[in-house]
Amino acid sequence: MYSVQASAKDRLIQVGIIAESMRLQQALATHGILSQTPTQVEPIQIWSPNNLKEALNNLGHNRNLGLSGRPNRPVGLLGTSMVSTSANDPN
């Protein structure tokens, strides 16, 4: 996956861009934006937000403990992203 990196002091931000189709990939390239399609990043799977929401609904579900699992709400950017201050610190 291509990434764009920018750093400020000791912080690093990486952004990966996945184009839904070759046509969109070509349109992005005309503006100098590198991207890949889902088939180009295989075996990594790219899920739509709705599919991810459905898969996460069972996260934490435990009938014996009376836990209902993750609420049925949109995942959002923060639910699928992680920003780390260093390679050794996942927080």
Residues 2 and 30 in one domain: yes
Measured in Å, how far apart are the chain's first and last C-alpha atoms? 23
Asked whether residue 60 falls in the same domain as residue 39, the answer is: no
Q: Is the pLDDT of residue 88 over 70?
A: no
pLDDT of residue 29: 95
Q: Which structural domain, as residue segments, surrounds residue 63?
A: 47-80
**Would you say residue 1 lies in a domain?**
yes
Q: Is the pTM of this model over 0.75?
A: no
Nearest one of 2, 59, 60, 65 to 29, comparing CA atoms = 2
- For the segment 43-83, what is each residue's pLDDT rounded down to a tens digit? 988 887 778 887 778 788 889 998 888 887 777 665 555 44
pLDDT value, residue 22:
95
The beta-carbon contacts of 71-79 under 8 Å, at least 24 apart in sequence, are 74/49, 75/49
One domain, residues 8 and 27: yes
For residues 33 and 69, membership in a common domain is answered with no
pLDDT digits (tens, 9 = 90+) for 2-18: 555 555 566 676 778 88
